[in-house]
Amino acid sequence: MNICGEMMRVEDYIISFLSIWAILSALLSPSVDIFLTLLLIGSLICLEVGDFFINKKSKEILKSIVYILIIIFAFIVVKKVYEILVK
C-alpha cells in the first residue's frame, strides 16, 4: 500500500525496483562502466518481468533506455578489447 492507502500497481513496483537498483548500483560500483552495465541488466530485468503489466507508452520509454544502454555497453566492450589488444 502506498501513502494514500491504495494498492500499488505492478508498474509502480517496477519503477521502484529500477530506482532502487540504480541507486544501489551507483553506490556500490567502483567505476562508471560497471554502473552502466548493472543499469542495463536491471533495465532488461524490468522489461522482461513487466512486459505484460506495463502500458505501451512506458514500455516504449523503457525500450528506448535499454537501446541507449546497449549502445553504451557496446562502446564499453570495444574500449576494453582495445585496452587488451594494446597491452
Per-residue pLDDT of the chain (87 residues; tens, 9 = 90+): 556 666 778 888 888 999 999 999 999 999 999 999 999 999 999 999 988 888 899 899 999 999 999 999 999 999 999 999 998
Spell out the residues 6+ positions from residue 23 whose beta carbon is closer than 8 angstroms to its own: none
pTM: 0.83
Looking from the CA of 6 toward its CB, the CA atoms found within 13 Å total 5
